[in-house]
Chains A and B, each alone.
Chain A
Amino acid sequence: MKAITIDGISKKYGKTQALDQINLEVEEGALFGLIGPDGAGKTTLFRILTTLLLADTGQASVTGLDVVKDYKEIRKTIGYMPGRFSLYQDLTVEENLNFFATIFGTTIEENYDLVRDIYVQIEPFKNRRAGKLSGGMKQKLALSCALIHKPTVLFLDEPTTGVDVVSRQEFWEMLRKLKEKGITILVSTPYMDEASLCDRIALIQKGQLLSIDSPTNIIQQFSKPLYAVKTNLLHQLLGDLRTFPLTDTVFPFGEYLHLTTKQQLEEDQLTIFLQNKGHQKIQLHPTKATIEDCFMELMTN
C-alpha cells in the first residue's frame, strides 16, 4: 500500500488555479520532498492531504484512507506541522507538548523514545513560554508536538523556512532518523539545496508538478552545457550574458551566474566577448547541475 496517493487533484481560489491536476504517489517509509517557490501550491496540497481543505476535483488518500470520506480516521493517524508556527505561545514548552499528547489520547512518557532526540534539545527550556523560544527551538517543539502521538505519516509544511543554517542541518538529520523508524514523511521546502536530502522529490510550480523522481535522476536528466561565470562587474554581467548569441539561460546562483548554452562552448569565445564589454577577472568553468538548475530549466520549458 502507498502511504499517499494523489489522483487528479485540482483546487481553485477564485480565479487562481492553486493546484492543477496533481498526480503523485509516495511510498511507505519514504522521505518525500515537495520543492517549489512561494505560492506554488505546496500549502494547499498539504491542507488537502491533512483533510483541512476540500479539493475541487480529484481524489487523494493517506494510508489508504480517503481524505474526504475518512477524514476522522486520518486525523487520528497523521502528524501535521503547519508552515506558520502554530503552537500556544502563552503556554510553556512542556505544557504544549502535554496538551497535544493528551488530545491525541496519549502521554509524553508513552512515546518519549520517538521524540527524545529532538525533545532533549529543548528540554532545558521546558518551563519557558513557547512564544519566547528562538526560531530553531520553536521548530523543534512543533516537530515534537506533531510526533508525540506516533503518527504513521508526517506532514511538514516548510519546516525550515526562517530557520538558521545550522538548525536546518540539524532538522534534516532528525528527519533522517525518523525515516529510519519507519515514518513516512512528506516535507515541503522552498530551499533547493534541501532537495538532495530527500529520497524522492516533486518539483512544483504554479500548481503543476514539473517532475517527480529521485534527486540524482533529476540531476542526471539535465542535458544542456552548464557553466559558472563570475567577473568583477557582477551586476552588469547578467545583462551582458543575455546578449551573447549562444546563451540559452542565465540565472544568479550564489556568487556566480549559471549559464546554459545552446551548444558546447569554446570558452575563449565567451571570454573575449566579455572582455570587449569591459569585464575583468573573468572566471569561467563548466559545472555540475544542481536541483536548482533543473528547476530553472523545467520552469522555462
Chain B
Amino acid sequence: MKPFLAFVKKEIYHILRDRRTLLILFGMPIIQVLIFGYAVTNEFRGASIAVLDQAQDELSTDLQRHLVASGHFAIIEQVDNVSDIESAFQKGKIKMAVVIPPDFSQDFYHRKKAVVQVLSDGSDPNTASTLLNYVTNMVNQFQVRKSQAPPLPLQINIESRLVYNPELKSVYMFVPGVTALILMLVSAMMTALTLAKEKELGTMELLLVSPLHPFLIIVGKVTPYVFLALINAIFILALGVFVFGVPIKGSLLLLLGLCLLFILTALALGILISTKTDTQQAAMLTSLMMLMMPTMLLSGFIFPVESMPRLLQWISTIIPAKYFIILLKDVMLKGSGIELILWEVMVLGIMTLFFLVVSLKNFKIRLA
C-alpha cells in the first residue's frame, strides 16, 4: 500500500508542477463550455439584412416593421436596385436580402396573391436555411394578420410541443457533448501522455527494475486522473445548470456514477494507447486521431448519428462517447432511471473491461 501511495503522491506533484498539464486540466473545460455556450449557436439575434423596397407603400413599410420587431433581423441597408444587393453580399455586410416588388399592396389586396423575394447567402448553408425559416414564419404571420378573411369553417391546427427541450436550446445538446469530450481529453489523453513521458524520460526503465508490479505502476499513475476528471465533470455540469439553465431531471448520484464509468472507459483507452506508443508526441497524436476526432464527429455530439452514411453509423457504435452522450441526455433531460439505460451502461462496462484486459496483456514488463 505504501509504494502505491508514494506513487500517487509523486503523480500529483507532476501534475501540480507542470503548467501545460494544469492548463489542459482546468483551463480547457472552462474555455470549451464558454465557446460552445456563447459562440457556437444556431440561434440568431439581429442578423443583418438589406431591403429593396420597390413598392414604398404602407403595406411594404408595415412588413419591414414586422420583420424588425421580431428581433431576429436588423435592416442595415435600404437599397435602390438589385445590383446593390449583390455588392452588399460580396462585402459580407448582409446575411439576407428581402425584395418587395412595386405592386405589392395592389397584388395583395386585389389579386389576393403577392410575392416577396428573399435572397440569402448560400455559402453559409446553416445560417441561410435558419434565416429562411425565420422569414417564412414571419411572412405567414404577417399575412394572417393582414387578411381579414374569416377563418375556414373546418380546419386542422397543428399544435406542436418539443418535449424535453421545449425551446430547442442548443445548450441542451452541447453540455453532454462537452462533458464527453473533456472527460475523454483528461482521462484518456492525459493518461497516455503521462505514461509515455515516463518512457521518454527513461524513468520507466527504473520503475521496471523495481519490485513494483506493472499493474501497480499503471493504477498509481491513473488514480489522480480519476479524481481530476470527476472534478471536471462536476464543474461542467454545474456550469451547464447554473449558467445555461440545463436541467438535471434524473438522479444526480446516477449521473455522477455514469461520469465515473465513462472516466474509467477513457482511462482504459489511454492506457491502451500508452502501451502502443513510446513518446509523448506519438501518444498525443494517437489520442487526437483515435479518440478526440471520433468523439467530436461520430458520437452524435455535433452531427446526428441517424443522418450519417451507413458506414459511419456502424463505426459510431464502437465510439464510447456515443453511449455516454445518450446516457447523459436520458438522465439529465428525460429523468430516466437506471432501468431505462441498462443497455448503454452495459456496453460501456464491457468496453472498459475489454480495453483494460488488452492493455494489461500489452504492458511490457521489459523494454522491448
Contacts and interface: CB of A to CB of B under 8 A. Distances in A.
A54 to B, nearest CB: 6
Given A82-B206, A88-B14, A51 B7 contact: no
Interface string A10-33: 000000000000000000000000
Contacts of A273: none
Interface in B179-214: 201-203, 205-212
A84 interface: yes
A104 B202 CA distance: 18
B367 interface: yes
Q: Using C-beta atoms within 8 Å of the partner chain, give the interface range for chain B.
A: 20 to 34
Contacts of A84: 202
Interface string A87-108: 1111100010011101111000
B206 A53 contact: no
A88 B13 CA distance: 10
A102 B205 contact: no
Interface stretch (A73-81, A170-178, A277-285): A73-81
A221 B18 CA distance: 56
A75 B14 contact: no
Contact of A52 (B7, B208, B212): B208
A78 B248 CA distance: 56
Given A53-B366, A75-B211, A103 B6 contact: yes
A80 B10 contact: no
Interface residues of A, number: 30
B113 interface: no
Given A88-B10, A95-B10, A50 B209 contact: yes
A141 to B, nearest CB: 12
Given A52-B367, A76-B211, A105-B3, A90 B14 contact: yes
A90 B17 CA distance: 7
23 contacts: A51-B208, A52-B367, A53-B366, A54-B366, A54-B368, A75-B209, A80-B205, A82-B205, A82-B206, A85-B202, A87-B206, A88-B10, A88-B201, A90-B13, A90-B17, A91-B10, A99-B6, A99-B7, A100-B206, A102-B6, A103-B3, A103-B212, A105-B3
Interface of A: 47, 50-54, 71-72, 75-76, 78, 80, 82, 84-91, 95, 98-100, 102-105, 145
Given A76-B211, A102-B6, 7 more contacts: A51-B208, A75-B209, A80-B205, A88-B14, A90-B18, A99-B7, A99-B10
